[in-house]
Amino acid sequence: MQINNKIKVAIIGTGNIGSDLLLKIQKSNVITCGLFAGRNADSAGIKLAKEIGVPTSFDSIGAIEQDPDCCEIVFDATSAKNHIEHAPILKQLGKFVIDLTPSRIGKMCIPVINAEEALCSQNINLVTCGGQACVPLAKVIMDTHPETTYIEIVGSIASKSAGAGTRANIEEYMQTTKQALEKFSGVPEAKVILVFNPAEPPVLMHNTIYASIANPNIQLLKENIEKMAELIRSYVPGYRITYGPIVDRGRVVITVQVIGSGDFLPFYAGNLDIITCAAVQMAEDFAKKSLKNKLYE
Amino acid sequence: MNNIRFFDSTLRDGSHAVSHKISAEQIREYCENIDGAGLYTVIVGHGNGIGASSHQVGFSAVSDFETISIAKQALKKTRLGIFFIPGFATIKDDLEPAIKLGVDLVCVASHCTEADTTEQYIRYLNTCGKEVYGVLMMYHMTTKERLLEEAIKMQSYGAQGVIIMDSAGASIPLLVSDTIKHLVKNLKIPVGFHAHNNLGMAVANSLIALENGATIIDGTLRGFGAGAGNCQIEAVVTVLKKMNIDAGIDLYKLMDVSDNVVTKIMKKPQEIDSIGLMGGLTGVFSVYALPIKRAAEKYNVDARDIYVEVGKRKIVGGQEDMIVEVAIELAKKKQLSNIN
């Protein structure tokens, strides 16, 4: 891999997610941040970008339209509503888009499940943090016990880690997570619950998965779940099964915690971390492919 | 004290007390009998709001849509209300169909510091032309200043009133008077109070709220509700009557429904046991009484210790899973200390 020949990316949205991406990209040896654009000149993210010498703009997507060569890959970390406007513009500019809002415009992507397939799309959607954390386990459950009738996932995130965008998009969050849960696992009936926990000090991102399975093989489930968790840890280091699978009152229960990498927000913000980790993973995969193609050009 | 409106949460909050197992026939009988008694709205559905039926907080015996349909048929004079918590349900799967079934009024609730999670929903209900109220739960966990900020947000989204919930029954009288006074003085919309009876203060605290300018009392018949139960509406109406305040309520009708209908839904009389008192003391959500008792039995630990620990962790609504975790931890500690 050519270290000096990194693929340029742009980030739109300078809130929690955008800022966390910015810091993660600094560590990458295949991608580099060519533009950090938002609308809010006073954001902590903008200050941070200036400090580390990344070009900034307050013209949001306008900055990419004016200088399309600033990037090959665009991360959209604004809101579902904004991405509806951004998607056609970015398509026309021929950018590979990694959408971190729950807009559901692009191809839904959970790296551990469909990274390769997703790389063939021009716009990929990273579902939601709850989707990234729980859908792979739901898939394991369905693969192990196809007769499962119902899966429910409960995400509990620290209030402090939920920015304005997340709060304004709860409806989209819920619908997108549910759709991903149904699509990737194939479970006949699914339910999603999201709880904001205001506790101080903030609690770690915490997910519970319930599954209605008539006669669960707990030993087999446990093995398969641990295997999946190991795969996820390859790109989300703080991902861990905290307990289960256990059978409690006729249902299978698994809980998962994600300890954040502590890049932009502290360790409790695993919800942020899991989706930015997934985004960077996908960008790096795309960049590696792109660099390889360039070598043969 | 004029124009007092009673929000009847008997079927909703009561559903917690019977693990959400209220039958279709009970819903019909209740609604038919309470209709026209003068209550402002009868709120139905799962205890955690429509769409909340789940492993996490318990499955309803009757689906919310069936409940709403039955109630709509039975309620000819009284508004049909529902409760909605963002994060438990969605517009697409729950709210939109509920409105199609004829819901008149919606209470959109959030934890006391999370009002911005209700914006999408309050605005949506406004565009549907529905009567909508904001609800701030677990109000004892924050300050009156912060509470006002959150209530103002709900007001700006278009809420027609804000109801403050003492979800853990953790209020002392001074907290109620101080909070309500502050909100009434600074809000343009009506203020309501929803009490729980953990410290035996639900009726008294509701009266204090009224004395300080609240105009909505959210309670239940016979105090039927989560944990130690709620503010008993017919008791408040009786006290008001004795104070020569006419709330426009048919008191005998309430008493009849309370004696003859609600008692049949209840599994046991509403009482304040030590668990209820611990809830009021530690400020833990009333709906956790049953899950805590269950976890204490299963893992053989003292329920009061679970209360103290989850109280420290500032548990909020919808975190039933945390109780089991705490119980397991306490059981491990107990085992260790037995070995040592």
Q: Do B117 and A196 touch (CB under 8 A)?
A: yes
The confidence band for B269, taking pLDDT boundaries of 50, 70 and 90, is very high
For residue B67, the model assigns a pLDDT of 98
Least confident range of A75-79, B31-35, B332-336? B332-336
Judgement on whether residues A224 and A289 belong to the same structural domain of the protein = no
Domain ranges of chain B: 5-265, 274-339
For residue A134, the model assigns a pLDDT of 97
Q: For the purposes of burial, counting CB atoms within 10 Å of the CB of B126, is it exposed (0-12), middle (13-18) or buried (19 or more)?
A: middle
Judgement on whether residues A100 and A208 belong to the same structural domain of the protein = no
Judgement on whether residues A149 and A207 belong to the same structural domain of the protein = yes
Digit-coded pLDDT (tens) for A226-277: 999 999 999 999 999 998 899 988 899 999 999 999 999 888 888 889 999 9
Judgement on whether residues A278 and A260 belong to the same structural domain of the protein = no
At residue B134, what is the residue type? G
- Of B9, B6, B49, nearest in space to B30 by CA: B9
Element (H, E) at A31: strand A31-37
C-alpha–C-alpha distance, residues A291 and A32, integer Å: 13
Whole-number Cα distances in Å, A237 to A25, A34, A134, A261, A262: 16, 26, 15, 8, 11
Q: Is A291 on the interface with B (CB under 8 A)?
A: no
A257: tokens are 């915690």
Q: What end-to-end distance do the CA atoms of chain B give, in Å?
A: 62
Eight-class DSSP state of B259: I
Digit-coded pLDDT (tens) for B156-187: 999 999 999 999 999 999 999 999 999 999 99
Judgement on whether residues A286 and A219 belong to the same structural domain of the protein = no
Q: Do B141 and A198 touch (CB under 8 A)?
A: yes
Digit-coded pLDDT (tens) for B192-226: 999 999 999 999 999 999 999 999 999 999 999 99
Is 70 exceeded by the pLDDT of residue A293? yes
Q: What is the mean pLDDT of residues B125-137?
A: 97
Active site residue B16: yes
Is 80 exceeded by the pLDDT of residue A199? no
At residue A284, what is the residue type? E
Digit-coded pLDDT (tens) for B282-300: 999 877 888 899 999 999 9
Q: Is A241 on the interface with B (CB under 8 A)?
A: no
Contact A141, A149 (CB under 8 A): no
Find out whether the peptide bond into A198 is cis, omega within 30 degrees of 0: no
C-alpha–C-alpha distance, residues B99 and B82, integer Å: 10
Range(s) of the domain holding residue A51: 7-126+274-296
- Sort out which chain A residues have CB atoms less than 8 A from B322's CB and list them: 156, 206
Judgement on whether residues A161 and A206 belong to the same structural domain of the protein = yes
Average pLDDT for chain A: 92
For residue B91, the model assigns a pLDDT of 98
Digit-coded pLDDT (tens) for A96-107: 999 999 889 999
- Find which of A81, A156, A175 to mutate to test the B interface (most B CBs within 10 Å of its CB): A156
Is 50 exceeded by the pLDDT of residue A3? no
At residue A271, what is the residue type? N
Residue labelled with tokens 């039927």: B224
For residue A43, the model assigns a pLDDT of 85
- Of B74, B58, B80, nearest in space to B24 by CA: B74
For B87, which residue in chain A has the nearest alpha carbon? A194
What's the gap in Å between the CA of A51 and the closest CA on chain B? Answer: 32
CATH topology of domain B274-339: Helicase, Ruva Protein; domain 3 (1.10.8)
Q: Is A104 on the interface with B (CB under 8 A)?
A: no
Tell me which of B16, B46, B140, B194 is the catalytic residue: B16
Supply the CATH classification number for the domain B5-265: 3.20.20.70
The whole-model pTM stands at 0.91
Average pLDDT for chain B: 95
For residue B288, the model assigns a pLDDT of 87
- Sort out which chain B residues have CB atoms less than 8 A from A182's CB and list them: none
Residue A1 located in a structural domain: no
Judgement on whether residues A243 and A160 belong to the same structural domain of the protein = yes
ipTM of the modeled complex: 0.90
What percentage of chain B reaches a pLDDT higher than 70? Answer: 99
Is 90 exceeded by the pLDDT of residue B106? yes
Is 90 exceeded by the pLDDT of residue B279? yes
Residues of chain B whose beta carbon is less than 8 angstroms from a beta carbon of chain A are: 52, 54-56, 86-93, 111, 113-114, 116-117, 119-121, 141, 313-319, 321-322, 324-325, 328
User: Which among A164, A243, A251 has the least Cβ separation from residue B55?
Assistant: A251
Tell me the β-bridge partners of A74: A10, A97
- Number of domain units in chain A: 2
For residue A165, the model assigns a pLDDT of 76
3-state SS, one letter per residue, for B98-147: HHHCCCCEEEEEEECCCHHHHHHHHHHHHHCCCEEEEEEECHHHCCHHHH
C-alpha–C-alpha distance, residues B273 and B270, integer Å: 9
What's the gap in Å between the CA of B339 and the closest CA on chain A? Answer: 24
For residue B340, the model assigns a pLDDT of 60
Whole-number Cα distances in Å, B6 to A272, B173, B266: 42, 20, 21
Residues of A annotated as catalytic are: 129
Tell me the β-bridge partners of A207: A155, A256
Q: What is the mean pLDDT of residues A44-48?
A: 91
For residue A2, the model assigns a pLDDT of 42
